[in-house]
Structure 1
Amino acid sequence: MDFKQLRALVTVAETGNVTRASTVLNIVQPAVSRQLKLLEEELGVTLFERSRHGMDLTEAGRTLVEYARRVLNELDRARAEIAPARGSIGGIVTVGLLPSACDLLSSALVTAVAARYPGIRVRISMGYAGYLQRWLEAGEIDTALLYDPKPTPAIQTRQLLEEGLWAVGLPDSGLKRDVPVTLRELATKPLILPSAPHGIRALVDHAAALQSLQLQVVAETNALSVQRSLVLGGHGLTILPSIAVAEDIARGLLNAAPLTQPTLLRKIVLALPTNRQTTLPVRCVVELLVETMREAVDRKHWPAARWLAE
């Protein structure tokens, strides 16, 4: 098994057939087919089901592709770090961002990295905290923002900021930024909430249980975009950090009010793996990520956030 074979495997999986893969790899089609055949012979399994419509991965093929992508990513990163542009810091750094903060941070981070470290290429992976933590532990990303996870020997964390959750609804919902709303008041309204075990859902359910409140959950979703769309469609109110809908509030599409009695807070932490070295390019990008977040809080671009890091 060598890198050429793994790259052929991943490229065929991504393009769907050998012909397109040979174009992407800039080698003849029989060479691609031979690389796949050598892999299958070495492993003693079938990696693709061949059909008139293309190449479909088998279960074994899907497993190998997952590992092959990690290997190839690591190789690309090593090349970039070993041979950067003369006199510069170079490499590929993959950053995991939460959906609620991705729009605010991604462009600012890429801009900052390009200005200060042009030899570094940033990859942004967006996902909920549970997924980001698994990707971080598996080596698929280099650093991530998480919601104050339970201690684990696989990652080290640093608290960055704390933000309150807000009730969010249409402009005619009566919600006002300067008038807090209680969870008991929200319990009488139709609610659209994240699906369990999402961190916000756990906070809301726990607070409701302490007050013996029965929430009227009319819809659940594991996608922030769907949660927002359902509110915009008039299906109910929701509970989110205000940063997730700051642009909609500014445009007058949605209104929001701080949640009180109880005040629900979430802490965002910076996470790094403990099972591998934090390289210089990663440290540089982490520094700029923290600077970007601090600047967003200082300029009031991150509503309801309080900076915790020194």
Structure 2
Amino acid sequence: MQNSSALVLTVAERIDDKGDIMRLTLTGEGPLPEVAAGAHIDLLVETPEGPIWRQYSLAGDPADRTQWQLGILKDPDSRGGSVALHQLVKAGETVHVEGPRNHFPLAQADHTVLFGGGIGVTPMLAMAWELHAKGADFTLHYATRSAERCAFADVLPGLPFADNVVLYHDDAQKLDLDAVMPAPNPTTHVYVCGPQGFMDWVIAHAEASGHATDHVHREYFSADVDASGDSFDVECAQSGLTVTVGPDDTIAKALAREGLKIEVKCEEGICGTCVTDVLEGEIDHRDQFLTEDEREDNDQICACCSRGRGKLVLDI
């Protein structure tokens, strides 16, 4: 995982692409921090309700430290971050960034299969760049609703790994998982990113085909999370603070009111910023960030959305 740092970067280019996707090229005064495929940055977004942080995957060549490339979907159902960016960001302006962070790295594999649905193609492009540089065996399956909503279509034919990319459009040739899902193998890994329904479909198919859970890698851009539930108590072992988290409250908000702040960014349990160590108690996981193995360990919680069944003791 790369360490995060605060940066002020310049929007060198803005392209309004198909599918309501805005492509940004960000540059700095010198070389940008080193990144690996799967990394994302936290971007500060000014909204009418105040500043918020949102996470966006890096889509360009990870070896190119002169620029970072983003693809940002204008999602009318989002909580305002993407819409505000589409309205406000202009070429030549500066943006505040933290990162990079990487919770979605490539594993060592003899064969890698990448599935990108819509805006979920952004981290897959970075992975394709890195795999190509290594001379690795891979295929990128990129699915969109139609050719008219296929972002990056202008650059795909010119990529050095263009022959490894297969396009699918729902109104023409649809993605057929039965035909393209590889056979399970200890040296084969599957990666998926995109809308939650697309991801759930690919993940379920991969696991039903026999792929081990830890060989099916996923990154959610957003998630429908229900953070409500029965009240429970949280004890903070280091500070000695104890709070009650109400039915419509979260751990992070309840602690913040008492002066103990846990850093929160996505508020949907997808970015991992708020992960906190748990010393005692049963966790009711609501996030999409922790793996099944990490959940079974019962020693970490996403404080922005997950809850406790009874009392939890946190290592803070």
**TM-score normalised by the shorter chain: which range applies?**
under 0.3
Q: Which has the higher contact order (CA 8 A, sep 6+)?
A: 1
Higher strand share: 2
TM-score, structure 1 as length reference: 0.26
Give the structure with higher Rg (CA): 1
TM-score, structure 2 as length reference: 0.25
Higher helix share: 1
